[in-house]
Structure 1
């Protein structure tokens, strides 16, 4: 594994790193009410997403639209970067309800091969007495429904390379679940869920996660100062030690130029593990 390099500092609780097609690295600032960007030439800046917002997980689709969870506004929002997004553009609210009720502080999101948008809603981070967290899907035709509920802070999401195994991080129980997922079903469902791995001590538990170019799962463990790496059968391969205690999420540069990128909340940094 390559050397760890700090590529951005002074960020206000960064999360959700992702890349647009031009190589620009984006992340959210949960406490900064903004999306931060770092271009390949080193230029950086911010897009404000409005007072009261708290952007969290971020996903870039094939059209270069930036989808992100907003736990402050209880919504899934979208910024169309491909349309020539400027610093004064405001993202739209796309989803703000499920079962006729406001979303419960959405946290992270991914999209499957059929275009279904899957997102977690953990609720407040301090609510550990009752398992009120759930995960939803929004189909390509805009239908939104829950695929699982009763979790203690569901957080990061990932699909294994087979496209039919959906992983859900349950932060407050320090474990990751897996279950069968059929993207092409008329009404997609998360079937036969079971515990995939327990991330153990130390730290608060698994946060954001992604599949690396090697097919392994990279998991940011909040409070543990590391990213844990698992193979596709859930075998723990190694830990990547980090300079800060609180990694929040991880992404891989599809071009390979930046290697693995990690958002670090304690120090407000973007980290790069050089390929």
Structure 2
């Protein structure tokens, strides 16, 4: 079993890891910051947005997009570091994002305010196309979380945390979604951030069960990485695509979120490289 190493520590609620170029970007929701870190642990803040959640993705042209949940906007970071509005999402409650190879962004939305204790309402997914238009393409999620697109660009996989499922859709030529199905029933697994690899397996991070798990379609467990704190999201990257990056922190529940300073970026080596998006 490969060793789990600490690349960076001392952060807050860490999420949305994305390998880009030769660095990992991730969000610290507690600080309202997007940070980039290289494999030598040199880090810098590359964007600041006061948003909870605070999730990101990289466009095919190399620009970063950021979901501003409270503002109901999808922001784009320009080469000079400024932030502009790419799309008006409307409302609040926006959560995770994935951008495919065509530049289409899928952004999901939680239907109720978890932290305020609101009654359950189903969540949804919106498609933001390259021209900035927005339309809803899926609904009826208990708690939509991490998303990934398979290497051939044909399938969107969504973590529905409260139903303990990974849900799949076919992606149409216009970016629309069809043929909804349960890709994997995870039993007691609670998927948060996810990524896919070159064998079309999915890695999912799990907060309550303090682990990161690789599963095949249908739910067979292929590998488990045990953690000493909640796993919020994971991404594959590194020079060969075989470094699994995990962002983790000590979870204290919806009222207190995470223990300050316990947010970490962890790494471990895997056999199958990452592929697809993110």
TM-score (norm 1): 0.84
What is the Cα deviation at residue 48 of structure 1? 4.7
Of 199, 203, 224, 2:209 maps to: 224
Asked if 1 retains the 8 angstrom alpha-carbon contact of 2:86 and 2:132, the reply is no
Q: Residues 81-230 of structure 1 correspond to what in structure 2 (within 5 A)?
A: 83=79, 85=80, 89-97=81-89, 102-123=90-111, 124-126=113-115, 129-182=119-172, 184-185=173-174, 188-201=175-188, 205-230=190-215
Q: Note closer, same or farther for the CA distance 1:233–1:165 as it changes in structure 2 (3 Å cut).
A: farther
Whole-Å separation in 2 of the counterparts to 1:176 and 1:128: 24
What is the Cα deviation at residue 167 of structure 1? 1.1
**Aligned position for 2:55:** 57
Whole-Å separation in 1 of the counterparts to 2:83 and 2:20: 16
Listed one character per residue, the Cα deviations across residues 16-56 of structure 1 (whole Å, up to 9, x for unaligned) are 111222x1221111111111121344321224524x42352
Q: Note closer, same or farther for the CA distance 1:151–1:104 as it changes in structure 2 (3 Å cut).
A: farther
Please state whether the residue corresponding to 2:240 is helix, strand or coil: coil
Is 1:26 the counterpart of 2:25 in the alignment?
A: yes
Whole-Å separation in 2 of the counterparts to 1:154 and 1:76: 17
**Aligned position for 2:8:** 8
What is the Cα deviation at residue 253 of structure 1? 0.9
**Aligned position for 2:71:** 73
Structure 2 residues not aligned, in runs of 5+:
251-261, 271-278
Q: Note closer, same or farther for the CA distance 1:9–1:158 as it changes in structure 2 (3 Å cut).
A: same
Whole-Å separation in 2 of the counterparts to 1:76 and 1:106: 10
Listed one character per residue, the Cα deviations across residues 70-101 of structure 1 (whole Å, up to 9, x for unaligned) are 32333222223xx2x5xxx442232232xxxx
Is 1:263 the counterpart of 2:247 in the alignment?
A: yes
Aligned residues: 257
Listed one character per residue, the Cα deviations across residues 206-251 of structure 1 (whole Å, up to 9, x for unaligned) are 111001244321011121111121124543323221121x211111
Give every structure 1 segment of 4 or more consecutive aligned residues whose post-TM-superposition deviation is greater than 4 Å: none
Asked if 2 retains the 8 angstrom alpha-carbon contact of 1:220 and 1:250, the reply is yes
Whole-Å separation in 2 of the counterparts to 1:134 and 1:60: 21
**Aligned position for 1:38:** 37
RMSD: 2.2
What is the Cα deviation at residue 140 of structure 1? 1.7
Of 228, 233, 243, 1:249 maps to: 233
Structure 1 residues not aligned, in runs of 5+:
none
